[in-house]
Structure 1
Amino acid sequence: MSANSPEPLRRVEVVLLKAGRTKIRYEAELLTDDGNRVTVHAPWAGEGVRDFGFVRFEPGDVFTEHYWRDRWYAVKEVRSPEGTLKGWYCDITRPATVSGAELVVEDLDLDLWVSADGTQVLRLDEDEFEESGLSRTDPEAASAAWAALNELEQLAHPDAERRFPPL
């Protein structure tokens, strides 16, 4: 790097949209951006504990999040404060965009959970997705969302040829 080159961006603000509105925004450390996949590292950005029944997200948990500019999903590795892998939470999203120091992703309601040992693969929020009306308002996006969920579920299956997560 020359003396005149700016320092590479090390912090980004992740902006998660849902139905055109900001659902949450939080700062993350930029680990890599190869022009297609963006990987960030961030603490649990939610308030307090979120108990899904199959996993708990809580203060101190650490997320390594992978976003793609050409894929309709994001894969988030979740670890406890001690570093124990809890699993992967996968959001079905429109492809990510990066503008300056903002990483923007639109959540399309569908999700997939894969436990750390790979024995639990759960499709989540299919009812919310149907209620969103995306199938009527943007059938191509709805089709891409279902295809992304199916792809991730297939990759997470214990008999899959590729290892999960799909990096």
Structure 2
Amino acid sequence: MNDTHTPAPLTPGSDVTVRLVKHPRPDVRYPAVVTGDDGTHLVVRAPWAGAAERDFGFVRFEYGDVFTEHYWRDRWYSVKEVRAADGRVKGWYCDVTRPARVERGTLVVEDLDLDLWLSADHRTILRLDEDEFLESGLAERDPAAAGRAREALDDLERLAREDGFASILDPDLPGRG
């Protein structure tokens, strides 16, 4: 962040718009509710916001799915727990991003095209979209950010293998599924 001050945490129960910046594609925006914010780790809950159901082959996102999304103001990733309408955990979808920031009531996250999936049974870990990351040209435009993005994907894979993200999804922050 370029700010010399740290913005106040968002209030649990308040509405927020999540804006995923997806250069050069259009941004994705959707409504969410803040369930916790300790000033660094921000948690929101949102229904599946896609225009249609989406089958990725390893998971299907459907109407009624609920995402508990964990963002950090000091980490280069987000972790989204995905639950079916009946409450069953489908898994965790992780985005490699620049650290999250809040601008005028909007949670802004710049997606860097690398993703990771951890299945609900913790048996399947998939590194996703590495081809999109290479095609994005980030390594040429901003080599330092590209290096941080690769490190973040490695960190996510390590955390998924070690404890399924339990060590980073703060149990004291409301919204932990």
1:151 equivalent in structure 2 = 155
TM-score, normalising length from structure 1?
0.90
1:74-120 CA distance string (max 9 Å, x none): 00000000000000000000000012310000000000000011000
**Which protein is bigger by CA-based radius of gyration?**
1
TM-score, normalising length from structure 2?
0.85
2:135 equivalent in structure 1 = 131
2:165 equivalent in structure 1 = 164
1:15 touches 1:22 (CA, 8 Å); kept in 2?
no
1:43 equivalent in structure 2 = 47
Task: Supply the distance in 2 between the matched residues of 1:17 and 1:37 (Cα, whole angstroms).
Answer: 19
The answer to whether the aligner puts 1:121 opposite 2:125 as a matched pair is yes
More relative contact order, 1 or 2 (CA 8 Å, 6+ apart): 2
Distance change in 2, residues 1:20/1:96 (3 Å): farther
Q: Which runs of 4+ in 1 moved over 6 A?
A: none
1:19-44 CA distance string (max 9 Å, x none): 16642101100111111011000000
SS at match of 1:145: helix
Where structure 1 has 5 or more consecutive residues not aligned to the other structure, the ranges are 1-7
**Sequence identity (%):** 61
Residues 1-167 of structure 1 mapped to structure 2, 5 A cutoff: 8=11, 10-19=14-23, 22-157=26-161, 160=162, 162-165=163-166, 166-167=168-169
2:118 touches 2:164 (CA, 8 Å); kept in 1?
no
Task: Supply the distance in 2 between the matched residues of 1:135 and 1:74 (Cα, whole angstroms).
Answer: 21
- Which amino acid in the other structure matches residue 33 of structure 2? E
Where structure 2 has 5 or more consecutive residues not aligned to the other structure, the ranges are 1-10, 170-177
Aligned-pair Cα RMSD in Å: 1.5
Report the count of equivalent residues.
Answer: 158
